[in-house]
Amino acid sequence: MKRGERIYSYIEEKSEAWPEEMLKGRVGFGAQEIAEALGILRNNVSKELNALQRQGRIVKFSGRPVLYFDRGCLESALGVTLGECQFDDVEAICQSKTPQELENPFARLIGADRSLRRQVEQAKAAILYPPDGLHTLIVGQTGVGKTLFAHMMFEYGKVMHRFAADAPFVTFNCADYYNNPQLLISHIFGYVKGAFTGADQSKAGLVEEADGGVLFLDEIHRLPPEGQEMIFYFMDTGTFNRLGETQRSRRAKVLIIGATTEDPDSALTKTFVRRIPNLMKIPPLAERSMDEKLDIIKLMFQDEAQRVKKPIRVGVETIKALVGSIGSGNAGQLKSNIKLLCAQAFLNGIDSPEGIEVDFKMLPQQIRSGLLTLSANRQALTEVTKALGSDSCIIVPPGPDFLLTDGASGAEFNLYQVVEAKVDLLKGEGISSDLIKQILAADVNVYVRNLYNKKASVNMTTRERLLKIVDASLVDFAEQVALYVQKRMNASYHDRFLYAFSLHLSAFLKRVKSKDAAHKELEGAVPQDSLCLEVATEIGSLIGKHYRLEVPRVEIEYIALLLESSQEDERDDRVVIVVATHG
């Protein structure tokens, strides 16, 4: 493949990640990045990029550095033809809304294409169904986002021209007057002068205010039976009467959206439920996928970062505790917790221009206990650790940036730092040794695999890269160990295992020289009957003989985790089974 085509293929492949890249506040790829990825001189890359731009195949964004993006992908995402358009402001296009977002307000809803896909389709159908849509009942626990969902239905209706641009969205909480049914009914439907004591003049109700739009009745189960009867009669006929009137002579065109935390079959009359054809259940936050939980937490921190106009650094253990603390309060309680934490962090760092830090130590006990809850579920703990990495997360205003800093790179690769920082934190919270081992195993596994997944320079072999960091004699020994592992475990290990093992061995030898002891809390993190632990023990013997020193048990655990992580990496890339069928 010609050099220009290689460069274009790289840009095209990377551009397909849009709008994920846009959500990171970044659109485009620089000449230096492409040069390093493809092993081509930067000057040659710049020459080919200018040629591709003249051919109209890529778009150029001015700035520092100059960035390039595939024209076809950008036009497809924006839904427009760019023509000769030039972009001078990358940030402007990053923050602009695409036509797809304008046409579909649900695109902003986390989980709209995952756990909430069916509910979104129901909502769209309810809005578009002729002639005036379907009345809807949204069921879900407190704090799952029923009100937000109703607002998105209304916005979707305006975009699809089911409602006028100035159509009303009227909200009423039926619990406000549930002790006084007559007052509640008068508030919804209005009343005429003299209908009751104190009714000095006639007053329109919420139904009339919502004419041409939506009436959202929150906690609709609080409506008394007579109120439900009046509502379903209005839904049937479109007519109603104010309190004190004898004839139903008034008309209004209103879409009713109700919300309840109760079981409709037990909290509402059967005749009322039968007249609401569209019933949607919003799952609690605890039942949604881990990716969605983390996305929601990220979004909430982004909102706070924009509010305080400062970067927010959030420790990984803090996010784990927040995930584990998700309970009956759902997203509503989670948002309150995050807002309170950010307020405290803002007060602590009010004089710091660099930003504020949400530290695990500032968490209240009910949120800290979430770390224990999460640790009890090894699969969930592994998912969170894999998604977050091992370092702090930084949210930067004003754009929606969520940066995950990764310490697993080059000479900074240091498993000791990962383990010891976690041990000190977790022991300070009184967490049991078994849970500490479980958390450490997941963190180390992800830390190592993050290193493996980083792209190596195409201009240097693994040995050449290692020789820039560690001694040649150590690399020679590490290569012998890697060959031994390959034969002993009957598996093809990547050079990345050699890279990680060499760096860790170098760190271990430095510790032996300085007489620093590693934390023993890692012991027992790998199952005792594991082949990785058995081979790691044999590697420990090889190290002991070669360097004439005693390898402690905890170092065997470190090596076992290196083997285990490398083994999983191999397994992920392997096709397990292929099923071919003929219809």
Last residue of a domain, one of 248, 265, 283: 283
User: What's the pLDDT score for residue 469?
Assistant: 76
Q: Total structural domains in the chain?
A: 4
Q: With both helix axes pointing from N to C terminus, report the angle between 495-514 and 531-547 in degrees, rounded to the nearest 10.
A: 50
Give 226-233 contacts, CB < 8 A, sequence gap 24+: 226/181, 226/185, 227/174, 227/181, 227/184, 227/185, 227/188, 228/268, 228/269, 228/271, 228/272, 229/269, 229/271, 229/272, 230/185, 230/188, 230/189, 231/188, 231/256, 231/272, 232/271, 232/272, 232/275
Residues 133 and 254 placed together within one structural domain of the fold: yes
Residues 55 and 141 placed together within one structural domain of the fold: no
Task: Express each pLDDT in 264-277 by its tens digit.
Answer: 999 999 989 988 98
Residues 137 and 267 placed together within one structural domain of the fold: yes
Is pLDDT above 70 for 103? no
Residues 126 and 79 placed together within one structural domain of the fold: no
CA atoms of 493 and 485, how far apart (whole Å): 8
- pTM, to two decimals: 0.61
b/e sequence 134-159, b meaning 16+ C-beta within 10 Å:
bbbbbbbbebbbbbebbbbbbbbbbe
Residues 191 and 278 placed together within one structural domain of the fold: yes
Question: What is the overall mean pLDDT for the chain?
Answer: 80
What residues make up the domain containing 111? 104-283
Q: Provide, for the chain, the percentages of residues in helix, strand and coil under a 3-state DSSP scheme, each rounded to the nearest 5.
A: 55, 10, 35
Residues 247 and 366 placed together within one structural domain of the fold: no
Mean pLDDT, rounded, for 443-451: 65
Which of 81-95, 256-270, 401-415, 548-562 is the most confident on average?
A: 256-270
What amino acid occupies position 268?
L
Sheet holding 214-218, edge to edge: 169-173, 214-218, 255-260, 136-139, 278-281
Strand positions, DSSP E, 28-90: 29-30, 58-61, 67-70
CA atoms of 576 and 583, how far apart (whole Å): 23
Q: Tokens 């070669």 — which residue?
A: 546
Percent of the chain surpassing pLDDT 70: 77
Residues 355 and 368 placed together within one structural domain of the fold: yes
Mean pLDDT, rounded, for 178-198: 84
Residue 124 confidence class, pLDDT cut points 50, 70, 90 = very high
For residues 339 and 349, which has the higher predicted lDDT (pLDDT)?
339
Residue 491 CB contacts under 8 Å (≥ 6 apart), including other chains: 485, 567, 570
Residues 266 and 339 placed together within one structural domain of the fold: no
Q: 323 in the Ramachandran plot: left (φ > 0), alpha (ψ -120 to 50) or beta?
A: alpha
Residue 566 confidence class, pLDDT cut points 50, 70, 90 = low
Q: By the 8 A CB rule, do 316 and 360 touch?
A: no
Q: Looking at residue 514, what DSSP letter applies?
A: H
In a domain, 437, yes or no: no
Last residue of a domain, one of 79, 96, 113: 96
Task: Express each pLDDT in 210-255 by its tens digit.
Answer: 999 999 999 999 888 888 888 988 998 999 988 888 888 899 999 9
Q: How many CB atoms lie within 10 A of CB 359?
A: 18
User: What's the pLDDT score for residue 311?
Assistant: 86
Residues 275 and 398 placed together within one structural domain of the fold: no
CA atoms of 140 and 158, how far apart (whole Å): 25
Q: Which two tokens stand for residue 417?
A: 């730092």
CATH code at position 57: 1.10.10.10
In a domain, 411, yes or no: no
Is pLDDT above 60 for 261? yes
Mean pLDDT, rounded, for 533-560: 89
User: What's the pLDDT score for residue 256?
Assistant: 96
Pairing of strands 214-218, 255-260: parallel
User: What's the pLDDT score for residue 374?
Assistant: 87
Residues 115 and 82 placed together within one structural domain of the fold: no
Residues 246 and 196 placed together within one structural domain of the fold: yes
Pairing of strands 393-396, 312-314: antiparallel
Residue 37 CB contacts under 8 Å (≥ 6 apart), including other chains: 10, 455
Which of 77-81, 246-250, 420-424 is the most confident on average?
A: 246-250
User: What's the pLDDT score for residue 64?
Assistant: 63
Task: Express each pLDDT in 508-525 by its tens digit.
Answer: 888 888 777 665 555 666
Is pLDDT above 80 for 438? no
Task: Express each pLDDT in 49-76 by its tens digit.
Answer: 888 888 888 888 766 677 888 888 776 6
User: What's the pLDDT score for residue 460?
Assistant: 63
User: What's the pLDDT score for residue 285?
Assistant: 93
Residue 134 confidence class, pLDDT cut points 50, 70, 90 = very high
CA atoms of 448 and 440, how far apart (whole Å): 12
Q: Tokens 């044999």 — which residue?
A: 538
Residues 110 and 80 placed together within one structural domain of the fold: no
User: What's the pLDDT score for residue 520?
Assistant: 59
Residue 451 confidence class, pLDDT cut points 50, 70, 90 = low
Residue 13 confidence class, pLDDT cut points 50, 70, 90 = confident
Is pLDDT above 50 for 180? yes
User: What's the pLDDT score for residue 94?
Assistant: 42
For residues 442 and 82, which has the higher predicted lDDT (pLDDT)?
442
CA atoms of 505 and 501, how far apart (whole Å): 6
User: What's the pLDDT score for residue 208?
Assistant: 94
Q: 51 in the Ramachandran plot: left (φ > 0), alpha (ψ -120 to 50) or beta?
A: alpha
Task: Express each pLDDT in 356-409 by its tens digit.
Answer: 899 888 899 889 888 888 877 878 888 887 777 656 677 766 444 444 343 333
The greatest distance separating any two alpha carbons of the chain, rounded to the nearest whole angstrom, comes to 102
Mean pLDDT, rounded, for 455-477: 73
What amino acid occupies position 259?
A
Last residue of a domain, one of 231, 249, 283: 283
Q: How many CB atoms lie within 10 A of CB 386?
A: 15
Q: 573 in the Ramachandran plot: left (φ > 0), alpha (ψ -120 to 50) or beta?
A: alpha
User: What's the pLDDT score for residue 583?
Assistant: 58
User: What's the pLDDT score for residue 430?
Assistant: 66
Please spell the DSSP secondary structure of 296-365, one letter per residue. HHHHHHHHHHHHHTS-EEE-HHHHHHHHHT--TTHHHHHHHHHHHHHHHHHHHTTT-TT-EEE-GGGS-H
Is pLDDT above 80 for 493? no
Q: Looking at residue 28, what DSSP letter applies?
A: -
Which of 6-20, 76-90, 121-135, 509-523 is the most confident on average?
A: 121-135
Q: Which two tokens stand for residue 123?
A: 């909502």
Q: Which two tokens stand for residue 368?
A: 């800290």
Is pLDDT above 50 for 492? yes
